[in-house]
Amino acid sequence: MNQSKVYLTTEFSLIFAGVPLAIYFNLVRVPKIFPLVAVTAFVLLVLLKDGEYKRRELWSLDEIDEVLPGLLVKFILVFATLVVLVMVTRPQALFSFPRQRLQIWGLVMVFYPLLSAFPQEVIYRGFIFHRYRSLFPEPWMQIAISTLSFSFLHIIYDNIPAVLLTLAGGYIFSRTYLKTRSILITAIEHAIYGCCIFTIGLGHYFYEPL
């Protein structure tokens, strides 16, 4: 069923501006995982009820062979850049997480892809690209709004590096999703970058104790 642009604009504003702002200003006093779960459940319900949505996007790996070499090259370049950045700015933090808290690091490596990367890709790629295509009909618009919304979400951590790093990450993930139309492939890429961030010593920008 087609939705009016006024309705879609209001919905978009509430989800992608209202929710992060509510968390940022402590209007929602719950662990950050709870709003993520709630929004993920909502967008999945909307997508699965939409007869025009191709559910296969949630799990498809059809394009993995085609895009894998490019994904690996990008990751190597980004990984090397971030390692150098940490060595220059906070050398004591380099690989400090696995060195000092190996068991917790292992748990993050297992659960971050499942509980964070995949849900965020459902919301910020699958949902935005499909749900709001009438508002943002051009691919460059979809990439831009997905990237900016994803970066804006990270104001909840109240630091500039989190916003800047996710601005770059959001652009990378949006391009991958547009090329593959696979949430799973994009989530795998997202998870690799996220695990890299935590491993090399930048995770403190994206973590607050409960």
Specify the pLDDT at position 207: 81
Specify the pLDDT at position 2: 58
The domain spans of the chain are 5-206
Mean pLDDT for all residues in the chain: 95
Residue 29 has pLDDT above 90, yes or no: no
* pTM beyond cutoff 0.75: yes
Q: Around Cβ 79, how many Cβ atoms within 10 Å?
A: 16
- Across the range 6-26, mean pLDDT stands at 97
Residue 209 has pLDDT above 80, yes or no: no
Specify the pLDDT at position 95: 97
Is 169 within 8 Å of 190 (Cβ atoms)?
Answer: yes
Please give the radius of gyration of the chain, using alpha carbons only, rounded to the nearest integer.
17
Element (H or E) spanning 196, and its range? helix 183-200
Q: Which long-range contacts (CB under 8 A, 24 or more apart) does 172-178 make?
A: 172/74, 172/78, 173/121, 173/124, 173/125, 173/146, 174/125, 174/142, 174/143, 174/146, 174/147, 174/150, 175/143, 176/67, 176/71, 177/121, 177/125, 177/126, 177/129, 177/146, 178/129, 178/139, 178/142, 178/143
Give residue-wise pLDDT tens across range 71-104. Answer: 999 999 999 999 999 999 999 999 999 999 999 9
pLDDT grade for 28, boundaries at 50, 70 and 90:
confident
Residue 1 has pLDDT above 70, yes or no: no
